[in-house]
Each structure stands twice: as structure tokens, then as C-alpha cells.
A = this chain, B = another copy of it.
Amino acid sequence: MDRVRQHTTLNEGLLFERSSPGKSGCQLPPLDVPAVSPGEVLGSALVRSDIPGFPEVSEVEVVRHFTRLSSWNYAIDLGLYPLGSCTMKYNPRVNEAVARIDGIANAHPYQPTSLSQGLLEIQRTLESYLVEICGMDAVTVQPAAGAHGELTGLLLIRAYHEAAGDARRVVLIPDSAHGTNPATASIAGYDVLEIRSNASGMIDVDRLRAVADDSVAALMVTNPNTVGIFEGQIREVAEVLHRCGAQLYMDGANMNALAGIARPGEFGVDVMHLNLHKTFSTPHGGGGPGAGPVAVREHLEPFLPVPRIRESPEQLELDWDRPRSIGRVRAFNGNFGVLVRALAYILAHGGDGLRNATVDAVLNANYIRKGLEDHYDLPYEAPSMHECVFSDSRQARHGVKTGDIAKRLIDYGFHPYTVSFPLIVKGALMIEPTETESKRELDAFVDAMQAIADEVERDPDLVRSAPVTTRTSRVDETRAARKPVVRWQPRKGE
């Protein structure tokens, strides 16, 4: 095998390396008006003479290049993708089809309202369903992702307090929280006070009580939390906060454990965000686009970003005239195409269907937990919801870390779980299968994880050198950071 050079598909270089002057993969229709001289109309100083290094390739080369690249990638469409906290569920293909319908895809954000009724209706319907699912009173779909939703949510809280002349300084965040929570609080201008989780991995209500005073603007809680555990004392938590005038923010990234079963609005949550690219099946696309709608209780509604949809007797309209609004968090109407996909998903399930999906998601997580609890250390005993979190403590004794086990999973044909998060579990293995996995796929995963546990004892080096079956073997991340090469440059003479 050594004597074989690499497959062309495995050797595919960068497009820049296939360029040759004069090739192009696209032609435009001939100009139907007189050409103008750029130098004349713009002034020659403003006109560029070249784009050095820019690709020059034909259509077939583009198709092949990206098709080949794609074959180096794992994806939900290829198998289980159990990244904890990421809810990598099946992305239904009808969602892609409807987002590409002419009147939707080609709608301009400034087109006349009279021509936008169908679009506003889509948005209004989605908003009403999200409100129903969360048990909240209103929602904005403007934020572009979860973190963007967090920012929006905290700004709402800020505006609310300021409107009451009650400026506050501190946002409380459990140590189990996702990194976006503290980062967002900073950007919203708050100081972050981290609160330590209790021995069960949950919020320590006593500790919370101790710090909850009138400097506190909000607590950001994830429920179920990042260890996959439902915060059973959530109502008490809300009470503690409300008593001192603070707000309860819920990171809704884990709504896949709750939709149709329980509603944050009934937990005492004041504001929360959803990740449509998690719970509502819009594709991750290798890192986005997402959408991070923010749902609020009534008292925060006046502060929502503009514009809002308003129903006039004749038509749906956008309302900019909202004096207490925090303003805009993004131009136009949010990641509208993502909203379309999420609505398609909700329509496909219906109310009962969403509940059934949640049941299967939790069933799958517990089934995996059951299959692995004899092989991996379970740091928290509390029942799991949509994901289960193990630690690598048993394997670490053999010098094998969660990251190694993850890489070894690749050899078994699976995407790894989430590593190194949540921070409260040392060497975490955070596993979220979602509801769109079959028993067969779960069984194969459990088998693989058991086999790896076994390998760790028999041959830890094997696991540490994984993956061995992929085109690319273990990647040197340290080197990448030490001397960053973040763009292609022609080699001398090229």
C-alpha cells in the first residue's frame, strides 16, 4: 500500500493551486447596455488592476474540488453525531426545499409590505409556535445564533432595569455554563460572578441565595443543564432572583429535552433563547447559519428589538415605532431562511409530534447511559435528560484522555461526543444522541465505546494514536497556533 501514491481525491490541493490564467467557471449574459470605462466613471485611482492569487478555474474543477473536499467530512447524513449540547439531529430535506422557493428566497427585505404578507405570515406563525412551546409571552426572531440571542436577552434585562432606574452590575453564571454565557455577559457590559455547582452538578440554591442581592441583574441558567440534568429547583431559583429584583435568563440550547413536556415560562424564567439550529433541526452547515430567537415574559416585551410584526385590520405590518426597544441587534429580519426551515420542522411534527420527539431524545440518551455506565465513570448520579456526561477518570489511569477516546471513536465510524465541556467534569465525555438515531445505530455506538474501554486497558497506545483509518491522522493543533498560517500564499516562483 505504501507504494501507491495517494488517491487524487485524497490529494486534492487548494483551488489556488489549480488556477491558470484565463480559466473561469462562470459566464454572465452579454451586457445589454453600453459598457463604461471604470477609470472614467470612478477615477483610475479607485480602480483595482488585479486580484493577486485569486482563483481561475473551470466549472468542472470547482465541482470536483468541493465534491472531493466533502468526502473528507463527517456529517449527520453519514451517521451518529453525538456532540453533547449541539443536538445534531436529522436535518429534514424538505426544509431545504421550502427555503429555496422563489417568492421566499428572492424576497428583498425592503420590498413593499403588500408583497410580503406571506413572509410576515411565516414569521408570525413561527413566533406564535415558539411562544407556545416555551410558555412565554412574546418572541423576537432577529438574533442570528444562540450567543446573539443571549446578548439580546441580557440587553432586554438591562433595558428593563434601566427603565426602572435600577441599574445593576452583575450577572451570575454557574460554572457549568457554556462559554458564550460569560462572554455575552461581558459584552453586555456586566461583571460575571461564577457560582459553583453543588455535588449533584446542579445550582446550589443556598449559595445562590448568599450572592443574590440588588447588584444582580440576572442569573443565566441552562436547563436541563450542561450535564444533562434537570434543575429540579428551578422555581426556587426563580424566586430567589425575583425577590431581589433580578431576572432569570434561561439558555434554551437544551430545549430538545423539554419541548412538549415542560415549559420554561412555567419555571419562572423571564427570558430565554432558543437555538433553531439545535432543537428545530435547521442544519449546522459546518458552523452556521443558525438563529437564536429570544422569548420573554410580558414585562420584557416592550424592550424587544425593532421591528415587530403588527397585525392591522388589513394586513401584517412591521412596526418600528417602539420607543422602549433596545434597538436592533441585526439588520433586516434575522436569518429568515433559517426561520423558514424551523417552521417547516414544527409543521412536520405538530404539537404531539414535538412531544414524541422529546421522548425519543431522552430515551436514546438514557439507553446510551445504561450501555456505558459499567465502562465509564459517571460523575453525577442524577437522572439524565437528553444527554449523558461521563468522565475519563477510569481511562486516565491508563494515560488515555477523553480526547483520545474521541479520536478512537472516529476509527469506529462515529463522530466523537463533545470533549472538554462542561468544565465542571474533568475529562468530560458529553454524549447527546438526539431522537433521530435508531436503536441499531445506538447499539453500534455502545459496542464501539465498550470496545474502546477494553482497548484502553489492553493497548492504550493504540487509542492514543487514533485515528488510524482516516485520510488525515491526528492533527497538530499546537503547531497551528504557534506560528499561524491562516491563508494561502503563492510559493516563490509560482
| Chain B residues whose CB sits within 8 angstroms of the CB of A92 once the complex forms | 59
Q: Which chain B residue shows the least CB distance to A93?
A: B63
User: A8 touching B414 by the CB < 8 A rule?
Assistant: yes
Given A61-B438, A412-B4, are A9 and B468 neighbors across the interface (CB < 8 Å)? no
Copies in the complex: 2
User: A413 touching B469 by the CB < 8 A rule?
Assistant: no
A45 to B80, CA, bound (A): 45
**Contact indicator per residue, chain A 1-31, by CB within 8 Å of chain B (1) or not (0):** 1011111111100000010000000000000
A317 within 8 A of B: no
A11 to B61, CA, bound (A): 31
Q: Which chain B residue shows the least CB distance to A438?
A: B61
Stretch at the interface among A64-72, A112-120, A121-129, A364-372: A64-72
User: B4 touching A468 by the CB < 8 A rule?
Assistant: yes
User: B64 touching A4 by the CB < 8 A rule?
Assistant: no
Number of residues on chain A facing chain B (CB within 8 A):
43
**Contact indicator per residue, chain A 27-62, by CB within 8 Å of chain B (1) or not (0):** 000000000000000000000000000000011110
Q: Separation in Å of the A43 CB from the closest CB of chain B?
A: 37
Stretch at the interface among A194-202, A239-247, A440-448, A483-491: A440-448
A179 within 8 A of B: no
Given A90-B59, A469-B1, are A438 and B18 neighbors across the interface (CB < 8 Å)? yes
Given A438-B61, A468-B4, are A9 and B79 neighbors across the interface (CB < 8 Å)? yes
User: A3 touching B67 by the CB < 8 A rule?
Assistant: no
A436 within 8 A of B: yes
User: A9 touching B78 by the CB < 8 A rule?
Assistant: yes
| Chain B residues whose CB sits within 8 angstroms of the CB of A58 once the complex forms | 436, 438
A137 within 8 A of B: no
The 9 A-B residue pairs whose C-beta atoms are closest, nearest first, are: A7-B413, A8-B413, A60-B90, A4-B411, A67-B77, A8-B79, A60-B436, A9-B78, A1-B468
| Chain B residues whose CB sits within 8 angstroms of the CB of A60 once the complex forms | 90, 436
A109 to B235, CA, bound (A): 65
